[in-house]
Amino acid sequence: MTQITIPVEGMTCGGCVKSVERALGNQAGVSSAKASLEGKNVAVEFDAAAISKAQLEAAIQKAGFSVPA
């Protein structure tokens, strides 16, 4: 398993945190996603053979949030 922290912009409440966690948790290969409103990021544990960082970022963006470059 690989663990990374991805910065996320646009989270303003607990509902946003849950939306980001749900969007990532629904992806094949993701074993856990823990978003932090205060840290403006999400820690993701995933199988790098099943899903890439770019795909994780795309899932965050599809949920309505942005990932700074």
CATH number, domain with residue 55: 3.30.70.100
Q: Is residue 10 part of a domain?
A: yes
AA letter at 48: A
- Mean pLDDT score, 21-35: 97
pLDDT at 42: 98
- Please write the tens of the pLDDT for every residue from 35-69: 999 999 999 999 999 999 999 999 999 999 999 98
Domain span at 35: 2-62
Tokens of 45: 């544990």
Residue 50 lies in a domain: yes
Cα–Cα distance for residue pair 7/66, rounded to 1 Å: 9
Give me the pLDDT at residue 60, please: 98
Here the tokens at position 65 are 């949030």
- Please report whether residue 14 resides in a domain: yes
Task: Provide the 3-class DSSP secondary structure of residue 60.
Answer: helix
Q: Would residue 47 count as lying in a domain?
A: yes
Mean per-residue pLDDT for 13-26? 97
- Total domains, the chain: 1
**Phi then psi dihedrals of residue 66, to 5 deg:** -115, 155
